[in-house]
Structure 1
Amino acid sequence: MTSPAIASLRWGKMKVEGSDTRYKDCKVWPGGNRTWDWRETGTRHTPGIQPADVNEIVNKGIQTLVIGRGMDEALQVPEATLSFIRSKGIDPVVLQTEKAVQQYNKLVKEGVAVGGIFHSTC
């Protein structure tokens, strides 16, 4: 099963190939995607992405998890979250969201089992 490419990205709007949903923030993995609702885990820009935010994705058989910190990189990624990802044998890649989407799509094209979690504003 392959990961869906990110078809488009603009401030506050993302589109995933094969999905009619327009996302503000989203999670993607081989064979799936969904809205990333920060209210589920109480996520805020600081302290940032928590292990609970990525737990669903790291259990989808991925090798790499690409994290988009926002257009202005306001979203933090604590070391505890990166350690959690690495403990699952997964390589985390943390970038500004436009660069993260480019890297994610490159890995998809290369056939890597990749997941992503992207914040499309600040």
Structure 2
Amino acid sequence: MPELDSSPRITHVSWGRLEVECASDDGTRSFKDAKLYPGGARMWDWNETGTSHTPGIQPADVEELLEHGASVVVLSRGMNERLQVQPKTLDRLDDAGVDTHVLPTNSAVDRYNELQAADEAVAGLFHSTC
């Protein structure tokens, strides 16, 4: 099995802003909402899958994370935990054998960075506002 690229590191989180440092990129990138995975990071555009606070993160949102080889996924529910997670999404991750953490954004960032520092194949969806 080929070796996976390392997951990016989150260097800062505040309301409406997530700063991420990727080994594959030069410097730090900023996002409002982000998808992070082994080897990269990109903006999480909710319009791609029709995601909204309710009913929340859907299976289509996590497929890209799985495609990049994630063995652990961190889902942030927003600073005020307004973003929900559909049960089907958790079922999809469970079926894939992925360890999943669902947390408010600040706690999600802390957990993600712990896993990233331990060289886990960690991925995450991060919502930096409500």
* Band of TM-score, shorter chain: over 0.9
1:74 corresponds in structure 2 to: 82
The answer (yes or no) to whether the contact 2:6–2:121 under 8 Å persists in 1 is yes
RMSD: 0.9
1:12 to 9, 16, 25: 16
The answer (yes or no) to whether the contact 2:57–2:86 under 8 Å persists in 1 is yes
SS of 2:124 mapped into structure 1: strand
User: TM (normalized to structure 2)?
Assistant: 0.90
Distance 1:92 1:77 in 2: 12
Unaligned 5+ runs, structure 1: none
> Once superposed, which parts of structure 1, at least 4 consecutive aligned residues long, lie more than 6 Å away?
none
Q: Which one has the largest radius of gyration?
A: 2
Q: Cα deviations across residues 42-75 of structure 1 (Å, max 9, x unaligned)?
A: 1110000011111101111111000011000000
User: TM (normalized to structure 1)?
Assistant: 0.96
Q: Which amino acid aligns with 2:33?
A: D
Q: Cα deviations across residues 55-109 of structure 1 (Å, max 9, x unaligned)?
A: 1011111110000110000000011110011111111110000000000000011
Q: Cα deviations across residues 18-61 of structure 1 (Å, max 9, x unaligned)?
A: 35432000000111000000011111100000111111011111
The answer (yes or no) to whether the contact 2:38–2:70 under 8 Å persists in 1 is yes
State the number of aligned residues: 122
SS of 2:119 mapped into structure 1: coil
